[in-house]
Structure 1
């Protein structure tokens, strides 16, 4: 009986089991493939969404982006064959006489700029107008004006111009470049290759790029928005139409855009613009200490989970760092709450602070985090710089030299060098240039005499010997030269 009943209901049980299994599988599949909000593809719901465009941002910003034309006169000495000193040859070949007669030609460069105030203040790159005798700007409405150079700061590769003309002018506001994040949409506006005002779109590819090699303060915004020659000095703006950076450089093997462009953060541009308003000279705070990068070995020795911050390696007497209580082996991990990742980011964070204020350093000392307020003061000129252009025939002819001090050392980017005579600049084509002298070279010894001042060096050059024996310090190394 049990066997009979079991055989009778077995097919029915199989059907019920199969049905139940199917229902469970369907429920499981439905739960698995249910789309999440992130996976949804939304259909535009209205005309505004269909016509989504960057045009409103461009219309807001484009009138504030200008073309910058810089020109300078260059005098060249024409080499003429001695034969043309003879009037017969000059008359026959129609060539001018005189050997080494100077010829004047005009060199020009083209870049972009951004109007940052209604009175016509323009910020651009230093390299766009370097050495310019005249600067002219062209607005997007095709009006052109001459412009005065208010400030040039080679260390940041920024310059400030003032349009000669009646305003008000359309201008842009600075954004907080510290709030940028990788992935933010940005627009680059400028005049690439001189074809006219052009807009390109991209995203912020990276922040705090420090291996660009364009300025002394290596801290750049990287973007994939197309930037080409002529874009230099142009605007990088966010989706609110505010200025987040000044387009400066590209990484390229061909000269064109490869999707790797760099912009100076608006925070640095604002700092330079404020300096132009306050007297036309950039005054940066001086710390009076040196720092080094923290690598994996140092991080392990300090029991850090990962390399971070910068390590203080020296603190100079009578400096803001010394007065604040900063010590050798302190690990600086943040300035004003902004993370410090290497010496370049440290220099950027500190150099963009205003003189007269106080900056808070977050320091790790003995395994404990402590906050140290540092007074922001300019570097002192402990001895007069007494700048002199050396004109006597010597290995230094054409060089401008200064007495070293913390102020001069800071201006030339020399760390911890406060005594001696330094070369501040070298004229092209001069004897100093041909010998290989460079700005930043420190003249230690000339003909067995220790050089202690610019006056002393100038006196030495007035009595040239048959052989010049020099000791020059460059990048911490002493080189001994013998020149006949």
Structure 2
């Protein structure tokens, strides 16, 4: 079963805090009154709570009747690479590695998704819910089932956009990016443990949470104490008006179940990523060309700053947008594109939401003076050479990896065994590489008995040796073995 992404930190038990509301006195249900009447919360009738006069209870049922049809169940099937090995491949593994990989059948996964465009049949979910899946099936609340296609995915924000061919769908409205505050009442809807249309509630516990454990990703999470469990991934976090404010993504727990600390991707990221996935099928990020870090009390004192808020520029790349805009080492960026920057993570996230060519105002402090200038983002350059196995006609044996795009290992990846080997940056669905079990993000460490150092060593080996090939692959911190013909 596909599990929600779990952050490994100490679990802290919290008690969900219900929304305080004015006292409602109920004697005998009034059968002549309208079935549902708004319950006044702090003088505001626009709330999730209504009073059912026929039953004499306060309920959220009318609101949920509008929300739950927009939350779907996502079932995935991933063929196990080892299950696809024939006798020759197994013999190859035993010869090179002295072991026979365990044979496993197809793996099934379960998650949730949110319909965000009823007319086009667009569904938003987590990338980790559908990553590597050979089949993706979407089940609606009314029990209709559809096969989904992937419009695009963005591992760095853990979002993916799916499409189904269906009519009479219900979609959720997406909240404005700044329409969330700590203390807001929220409702999480998803399919934990395969239990469809499960609803839990709580409050927004914090905003702007950063997942420091993954420096390669962009994280600016909403934290909530609404119960989120495995299977909730990709589900909806809505406010008391039934408007989407986040996609449930991760939990903090030692046990793997809810401990009152859950995280959701906010709409400021959702809107940006959805727009690019719809237009390009991928997210194209820009850069400004600076190395940044957080301020400390010692740095604040040494630089004669009034606070430790902002991102400290430690280096400016020659010829970069930052240099052209006049930024220098030692500047402290305090605002970008109209948003206040609390630390370096804020600046990284803000820049990462803009595509190459976008313009933004950047405000920084230098010598105690506040300055603002205009900056134009440029495309992120990939310093690695790329070997596209689909078009490598001059190396016939590369056809064994057809469908894979192979590069050197990016410098910004924090890997368990270092940066020696090659990186699979993309794998086309249903390609030869995909059928062999290769996935985007795989690190090939060895081929047959040869340890790889870089892309050149890989290419040299392929040129000098015909297949089949036995690969040692690092995937999500674990070692996998693949046979490629």
Output the TM-score relative to the length of structure 1: 0.70
Which residue of the partner structure matches residue 325 of structure 1? 326
Instruction: Count residues in correspondence.
Output: 383
SS in 2 for 1:255: coil
Give me the whole-angstrom Cα distance separating, in 1, the residues matched to 2:339 and 2:178: 9
Larger RCO: 1 or 2 (CA < 8 Å, sep 6+): 2
Quick one: structure 1 residues 343 and 436, their matched pair in 2 at CA, closer, same or farther if it must change by over 3 Å?
A: farther
- Name 2:194's counterpart in structure 1: 194
From 55, 58, 62, the counterpart of 2:68: 62
- Residue 376 of structure 1 is matched in structure 2 by 377
Q: Aligned pair 1:179/2:184, yes or no?
A: no
Query: CA shift at 1:325, angstroms?
Result: 1.6
Cα shift at 1:157? 0.9
**In the TM superposition, what is the alpha-carbon distance from 1:259 to its structure 2 partner?**
0.6
Larger Rg: 1
Once residues 450 and 245 of structure 2 are traced to their aligned partners in structure 1, the CA distance between those partners, rounded to angstroms, is 39
Query: Structure 2 regions of 5+ residues with no counterpart?
Result: 1-19, 27-32, 40-49, 52-57, 92-98, 399-403, 415-419, 426-437, 466-485
Partner residue of 2:360?
359
Asked if 2 retains the 8 angstrom alpha-carbon contact of 1:386 and 1:403, the reply is no
Determine if contact 2:192/2:229 at 8 Å carries over to the other structure.
yes
Does the 8 Å contact 1:218/1:345 carry over to 2? no
* Alignment CA distance shift 1:56-1:350 (3 Å): farther
Q: Which residue of 1 aligns with 2:226?
A: 225
Give the equivalent residue in structure 1 for 2:139.
Answer: 138
Question: In structure 2, what is the equivalent of residue 14 of structure 1?
Answer: none
Deviation readout 1:173-224 (Å, 9 max, x if unpaired): 2112333111011110000110121111110000111136467112111000
From the two aligned structures, give the one with the greater helix fraction.
1
Q: Deviations over 1:235-274 (max 9, x none)?
A: 0111222111100011111121111000011111221211
Whole-angstrom CA distance in 1 between matches of 2:379 and 2:86: 52
State the SS of the aligned residue for 1:232: coil
Question: Are 1:284 and 1:355, in contact at CA under 8 Å, matched by a contact in 2?
Answer: yes
Partner of 1:154: 155
CA RMSD of aligned residues (A): 3.9
- 1:76 — aligned with what? 82
The change in CA–CA distance for 1:316 and 1:48 in structure 2 (over 3 A counts) is closer
Secondary structure in 2 aligned to 1:105? coil
Instruction: Specify which of 432, 439, 456 is matched with residue 446 of structure 2.
Output: 432
Alignment of 1:43-122 (within 5 A): 48-49=38-39, 51=51, 52-76=58-82, 105-118=105-118, 119-122=120-123
Distance in 1 (CA, whole Å) between partners of 2:176 and 2:340 is 16
Name the structure 1 match of 2:265.
Answer: 264
Q: What SS class does the counterpart of residue 182 from structure 2 fall into?
A: coil
Is the 2:204–2:223 Cα contact (8 Å) retained in structure 1?
yes
Q: Does the CA-based 8 Å contact 2:407-2:423 persist in structure 1?
A: yes
Query: 1:283-362 residue pairs with structure 2 within 5 A?
Result: 283-362=284-363
2:250·2:264 contact (CA, 8 Å) conserved in 1?
yes
Measured in 2, the distance between the counterparts of 1:379 and 1:431 equals: 26
Q: How far does residue 114 in structure 1 lie from its aligned partner after superposition? A: 0.4
Tell me if structure 2 keeps the 8 A contact 1:79–1:100: no
